[in-house]
A and B are shown apart, each in its own frame.
Chain A
Amino acid sequence: MNNIFVYCEVTEERLVADVSLELLSKGRKLADDLKVKLEAVVIGHKVTKPEALLYPFGVDVIHYADDEKLFPYTTLPHASIIIELFKKEKPEIVLFGATSIGRDLAPRVASALRCGLTADCTSLEIGDHFENKTQTEYKNLLYQIRPAFGGNIIATIINPETRPQMATVREGVMKKEVYSVKYKGKLNKIDARSILKDEDFAVTIIERHLEKSKIDIKNSQVVIAGGYGVGSKENFQLLFDLAEILGAQVGASRAAVDAGFVEHERQVGQTGVTVRPKLYIACGISGAVQHRAGMDQSAQIISINTDIDAPINQIADYTIHGNVADVIPRMIKYYKKNSK
């Protein structure tokens, strides 16, 4: 069987991104299960110490293309180098981060190689498959497990016939773990200039800058909303901290907006936005009818309130009887402890 490859994304600071290190950690485990090698692909310019950084994650080979034209990332040059490399190396499995780079690059590569690609996997396992129609047994396939249908279903996807089996995985889903500080692999330098053609530079970057994105609580799967009971702008920061690690957005009641804790764009309710997330966590919100009008269709509701009789508790699936400032830090703590 052939090897497992991980595309290593390069950050603004020219380091290999955390999501890629997480994927290398997962890739190492899969490689051990399948008794194959783990190979990393790094494409960029003057990337900070790829060898010293990557070998400890159990990387056997680093394919490194270093050229000023390869940083910052643009789609076509990176795709061309990867396609060329994979045609030669014929990987068994390839993992990409489900980031704005990985989700731009992986489908382009999969289309060129005519192989399957599974988006946003939350779990990857090795397993067998028996195809009834053709009575064929497939050994050691990659089970790619992902939510779809707006998060309402969980699908297990396999690619029985084609290689590589490609998947993208979001940041924070896999755990970053050093394999062995003494691990040593070898470096394969890729000569980018011999691969790239003029057409690969059809898109050029004119300008780039970091910018805060607009508030978008309507489309969020998880909303963490704070009310007057949160008490202060400073305490609201706790909600933002929890939102950050859950990939959620922060909402608010009108009383919280009126008190100046957060911007008006976050107000949920009759005179704010209506949300229908998978999970709505109401923190220090009493549950006035005008507020409920904007959130009572949420699939799951958790209320955190010091008042056991607050009206919001009647529509909540879970009520935590306690103080917001006290409960949220522990939700963060136990989320971190229990998620992979």
Chain B
Amino acid sequence: MRFRIIVLAKQVPDTRNVGKDAMKADGTVNRAALSAIFNPEDLHALEQALSIKDKIPYAEVILLTMGPTRAAEIIREAMYRGADQGFLITDRKFAGSDTLATSYALSLAVKKLAPYHLVISGRQAIDGDTAQVGPQTAEKLGIPQITYAEEILSLDAKKIIVKRRLERGVEVVNSTLPALITVHSSAPPCRQRIGKLLMKYKHARTVTELQNETKDYTELYNERPYLLIEEWSADDLKAETQNLGLSGSPTKVKKIENVVFQHKESTILSNSDKDIEKLMQTLIRSHIIG
């Protein structure tokens, strides 16, 4: 039997690159100026999976992502680096999902891929910033979770030993399999694309992407069926509608405020107590610190 590793990854706006150029004149975030990227810690997660595959030849790495059509980009990216296959979970019904609804959908997709041995996610996505989806998916699957993984120290068909990175130290734990691990950014970075794989998968597309192509790929796909990236809808997952999207999400966003940066000429402050206190108050009020 294959040793099946499922990697959960999300495409996110690059919120780390919100420099002065990505702010609009009114001081709000210019989302359009942010590129869509592979969530950074999910690349660390992918690397953990690929390095297991390096050691265990019968291991296979499957990437799962939930998102719009465009999110297929990160499936291709994972294939270029060594993933064997990917599935895009995509449906209007998933829109507005909070972490509970997201983990419900992801867990159904993981179950569809059973039997599996290991599920690997990033610790946290840089847009929602909650770090909740990993543990919630583990709960829905009824399997143990190992959060903040930095290194897999050993692995066999039945158990895994993982080094965890905590606030003030490290912990080494042993878990039965299957289990879900969430990977911390202190784990090794992901390997680069491999030229041969780039050539092999560069025409990989989802059905929706193929429909938007002007070129006819029918013949190529008959010859190389592995190029087709499967899309799974809510029906494919046999999901219950009330657990999906907005209706499956107990949290509601009531209000959103952009953090406003006013960029003006440098304000010169004296080193008086009054000036320093005023500055600290301004920083706290604008949520930059505190």
B is bound to A: yes
Please list the residues of chain A having a beta carbon within 8 angstroms of any beta carbon in chain B. 74-76, 79, 99-100, 103-108, 110-112, 114-120, 122, 129, 143, 147-162, 173, 202-211, 213-214, 216, 219, 222, 246, 248, 276, 278-279, 297-300, 302-303, 308, 313-323, 326-327, 330-331, 334-335, 337-340
- Complexed CA–CA distance, A110 and B101 (Å): 12
Dominant secondary structure of chain B at its interface with chain A:
mixed
9 shortest interchain CB distances as A-B pairs: A322-B271, A150-B15, A116-B250, A297-B19, A116-B251, A119-B130, A210-B169, A111-B139, A107-B135
- Complexed CA–CA distance, A160 and B253 (Å): 11
Chain B residue at minimum C-beta to C-beta distance from A141: B254
Q: How many residues of B contact A (CB 8 A)?
A: 82
With a cutoff of 8 Å between Cβ atoms, the chain A residues found around residue B148 in the complex are 100, 104
- Complexed CA–CA distance, A27 and B16 (Å): 33
Q: How far is the CB of A330 from chain B (nearest CB, A)?
A: 5
Verify B255–A327 contact, CB threshold 8 A: no
Dominant secondary structure of chain A at its interface with chain B:
mixed
Q: A110-B136, A318-B268, A334-B277 are in contact. List 16 more A-B contacts (CB 8 A).
A: A75-B144, A104-B135, A104-B147, A105-B135, A107-B130, A148-B130, A149-B29, A152-B29, A203-B174, A203-B179, A209-B169, A276-B17, A278-B288, A299-B261, A321-B268, A326-B271
Counting CB contacts under 8 A, is B290 at the interface? Answer: yes
- Complexed CA–CA distance, A116 and B255 (Å): 16
With a cutoff of 8 Å between Cβ atoms, the chain A residues found around residue B208 in the complex are none
Cβ-neighbour of B136 out of A107, A148, A319 (below 8 A): A107
Cβ-neighbour of B168 out of A204, A205, A210, A314 (below 8 A): A210
With a cutoff of 8 Å between Cβ atoms, the chain B residues found around residue A79 in the complex are 139
Verify A319–B172 contact, CB threshold 8 A: no
Would you mind naming 29 contact pairs between A and B with Cβ atoms under 8 Å apart? A76-B144, A100-B166, A107-B99, A108-B138, A108-B145, A114-B100, A115-B250, A119-B131, A149-B15, A153-B259, A154-B287, A156-B253, A156-B256, A157-B253, A159-B251, A161-B250, A207-B171, A207-B172, A213-B165, A214-B186, A219-B185, A279-B289, A299-B18, A299-B20, A299-B261, A300-B261, A313-B268, A318-B268, A319-B269
Instruction: Take A107-B136, A117-B132, A147-B287 as given contacts and tell me if A153 and B257 are in contact as well, using a CB distance cutoff of 8 Å.
Output: yes
Verify B29–A153 contact, CB threshold 8 A: yes
- Complexed CA–CA distance, A307 and B243 (Å): 61
With a cutoff of 8 Å between Cβ atoms, the chain A residues found around residue B173 in the complex are 74, 203-206
Verify B259–A152 contact, CB threshold 8 A: yes
Q: How far is the CB of B218 from chain A (nearest CB, A)?
A: 41
Q: How far is the CB of A123 from chain B (nearest CB, A)?
A: 10
With a cutoff of 8 Å between Cβ atoms, the chain B residues found around residue A75 in the complex are 135, 144-145, 147
Instruction: Take A116-B100, A300-B261, A319-B268 as given contacts and tell me if A158 and B280 are in contact as well, using a CB distance cutoff of 8 Å.
Output: no
Instruction: Take A75-B145, A100-B166, A104-B147 as given contacts and tell me if A334 and B127 are in contact as well, using a CB distance cutoff of 8 Å.
Output: no
